[in-house]
Amino acid sequence: MSGRGLTDEDLERYSRNILLPQVGVAGQKKLLASSALVVGAGGLGSAALSYLAAAGVGRIGIADGDRVELSNLNRQVLHGAADVGRPKVESAREAVLAINPACRVEVIGRRLTGETVRRTVRGWDVVLDAADNFPTRFIVSDACWLEEVPLVSAGVVGFQGQLLTVLPKADNPCYRCLIPEPPTDQFTATCAQAGVLGAAVGVLGSLQAVEAIKVLLGIGHGFERRLFVYNALEGKAQVLQRVKDPACALCGPKATITDVLEYRATCCPGGVCGPDGCCVPAEEPGKKRRKSARQRGRKGR
Amino acid sequence: MARDTANTIVPAYRADLTGTRCPMTFVHAKVALDAVESGQVVELVLLEGEQIQDVPKNLKEEGHRVIGVTHKGDRYHLFVRKDGR
């Protein structure tokens, strides 16, 4: 016996979803017909992608332009030691299909740019911002608002993580209502520049999957007007209220942002974002790329 | 009273769950209810013991209404109205 559209194998695989009254047979069918794009196949993306695939989200997109590095493996659990040097999207695709061969996986193996990001996010039912740098976060959140795609954004530095959801409706706050502009270097540290506890990243990545699934199913109480803050070291979690900024340049009544702006990383003046969220100097024509002082200084850490 | 009610009911869908084990029994019960419209009746065939003890209780918790039960040997025929309407 099977439900219309669900095989006996589906019923068994997804039985623990279907048994939830808030999911049921109808909800499972909805998940199988849903799509989610995960921007970043790193630590957050590893957890999020695993649970989205396991839950039966039918179409999964993975966007990442980086290759697996040995230093990623403390947190990026979709990738293994044998994957070092491979494009992350390739090892992530294999890992997702190993969890659930029925998923349709689409990969974008390059860094998203302001020029292409609107087209990239268009048409997905939900986007998960699992990026490790602010320029990508801002272009993805702007693109999602402008294309009216729900966004679940999370970030972790050290032992501390935060998560929010943006549902692109007029009354809801957007990402820029909380952080109007990409922070300057003196206030930020990317994962490449700071230690991070892999398991804490997994908590936030898993929470992203939870919130994305709730968005897809239209169930429960989400973080579209709240901010989740988790301190793994102190063992504390806080939920703070978020409000719409009437002066917001993206979603306010006098919005000035009507298209996605390209951001340059501010940590290396004149630099551009490179692999793993760090910055590399902009290449001058005819000149070989040199390491920045910051990058040289990081060597051996 | 339940027997009288059940005798007059023509279910829109019937499912024999006797070959299933917990928790798949309830998964298949939900599949049966998903196959009909709200207000329609499904007939579920259940075994004596755990199945007949648990399934009616769980269906009620999800908002459905058991409107009749018949019993023959170790098999129960449960008549459930979707969403209780």
- Does the beta-carbon distance from B34 to A25 stay under 8 Å? yes
pLDDT 10s digits, A68-89: 999 999 999 999 999 999 999 9
Facing residue for B35 by CB, picked from A3, A16, A24: A3
CATH number, residue A187? 3.40.50.720
- Domain boundary assignment for chain B: 2-84
Residue A43, class by beta-carbon neighbours within 10 Å (0-12 exposed, 13-18 middle, 19+ buried)? buried
> Phi/psi of residue A209, each to 5°?
-65, -40
Facing residue for B27 by CB, picked from A4, A19, A26: A19
The β-bridge partners of A158 are A196
Facing residue for A15 by CB, picked from B23, B33, B34: B23
Q: In this model, does residue A160 exceed pLDDT 90? A: yes
Query: What is the domain count for chain A?
Result: 1
pLDDT of residue A58: 98
pLDDT of residue A293: 37
As a whole number, mean pLDDT of residues A11-24 equals: 97
- Does the beta-carbon distance from A25 to B30 stay under 8 Å? yes
Q: In this model, does residue B63 exceed pLDDT 50? A: yes
pLDDT of residue A182: 87
The β-bridge partners of A239 are A228
In this prediction the pTM is 0.86
B16 neighbourhood in chain A, CB within 8 Å: 1
Question: Is residue A27 a part of any domain in this protein?
Answer: no
**Does A8 contact chain B (CB < 8 Å)?**
no
pLDDT of residue B40: 96
Question: Is residue A28 a part of any domain in this protein?
Answer: no
As a whole number, mean pLDDT of residues A290-298 equals: 37
Range(s) of the domain holding residue A66: 34-298
* Cβ A59 vs Cβ A104: under 8 Å: yes
A6 neighbourhood in chain B, CB within 8 Å: 31
pLDDT of residue A269: 46
Domain B2-84 has CATH 3.30.110.40: yes
Q: In this model, does residue A32 exceed pLDDT 60? A: yes
**Does A9 contact chain B (CB < 8 Å)?**
no
- ipTM here: 0.86
- Does the beta-carbon distance from A12 to B24 stay under 8 Å? yes
By percentage, how much of chain A surpasses pLDDT 70? Answer: 83
pLDDT 10s digits, B8-35: 788 999 999 999 999 999 999 999 999 9
User: Rounded to a whole number, what is the largest CA-CA distance in chain B?
Assistant: 31
As a whole number, mean pLDDT of residues B35-63 equals: 96
Look up residue A253 and give its amino acid: P
Three-state DSSP state, B23? coil
Q: In this model, does residue A16 exceed pLDDT 80? A: yes
- Which residue of chain A is at minimal alpha-carbon distance from B64? A21
Q: In this model, does residue A120 exceed pLDDT 60? A: yes
Question: Is residue A14 a part of any domain in this protein?
Answer: no
Facing residue for B30 by CB, picked from A2, A4, A18: A18
Question: Is residue A16 a part of any domain in this protein?
Answer: no
Question: Is residue A257 a part of any domain in this protein?
Answer: yes
- Does the beta-carbon distance from B30 to A19 stay under 8 Å? yes
**Token representation of residue A66:** 């980086």
Task: Name the B residues in 23-82 with CB < 8 Å from any A CB.
Answer: 23-24, 26-28, 30-35, 61-62
Please state the separation of Cα A293 from the chain's center in Å: 29
Adjacency order of strands within the sheet including B41-47: B13-16, B41-47, B75-81, B65-72
- Which residue of chain B is at minimal alpha-carbon distance from A9? B24
pLDDT of residue A93: 98
**Token representation of residue B9:** 């009911």
Q: In this model, does residue A294 exceed pLDDT 80? A: no
Task: Quote the DSSP letter at residue A248.
Answer: -
* Cβ B31 vs Cβ A6: under 8 Å: yes
* Cβ A151 vs Cβ A144: under 8 Å: yes
